[in-house]
Structure 1
Amino acid sequence: MDLSIKGVPEDQVRRLRERARANHRSLQGELRALLDEAIGTPRPLTIDEIVARVSGLGLPRRDEAARLIREDRDR
């Protein structure tokens, strides 16, 4: 679907173009990214975001897995 916004001030258009350029996107791509952000459209998580979420879960680290298995086996 196509959308149209009329009467956008030149200053806003200039800032949108600057933002798009800074994000290596076209103006259309930047507008779609802003819409996604505004309405909560899911986007793929970055590696850093995944690490932050998993770290917050308090799960044992990989190196602890062997220790836990050995403890269980030795009971």
Structure 2
Amino acid sequence: MANLTVRNLDDDLVQALKERAAVHGRSVAAEHREILAKALRQPQRKTFAQVLMSMPNVGLEADFARMEDSEPVHVSG
């Protein structure tokens, strides 16, 4: 396995990594590996089916019925 050294990180970022590692019960190095693995190994694009499945249920089809205008709108140009 390879080693990775990351230089010039903001102190706040390092602190956030330490805190996140503690919450997950991991070492800082293990948390760093997990973050990198999740960011780089997951598919970069969702399929159309995945996008559709992730859409929340927002109501019944009847809730989105089109209402007919009583008078047509005319645009002059």
TM-score norm. by structure 2 comes to 0.51
Q: Which amino acid aligns with 2:34?
A: A
| Structure with larger Rg | 2
Q: Work out the percentage of aligned pairs sharing the same amino acid.
A: 32
Separation (CA, whole Å) in 1 of partners of 2:36 and 2:7: 17
In structure 2, the partner of 1:15 is 16
Structure 1: segments with no counterpart, 5+ residues: 42-75
The count of aligned residue pairs is 41
Which residue does 2:38 correspond to in 1?
37
Q: Deviations over 1:15-61 (max 9, x none)?
A: 000000000000000000001101116xxxxxxxxxxxxxxxxxxxx
Distance, in Å, in 1 between the alignment partners of 2:41 and 2:7 is 24
| Higher share of residues assigned helix | 1
Aligned Cα RMSD in Å?
1.0
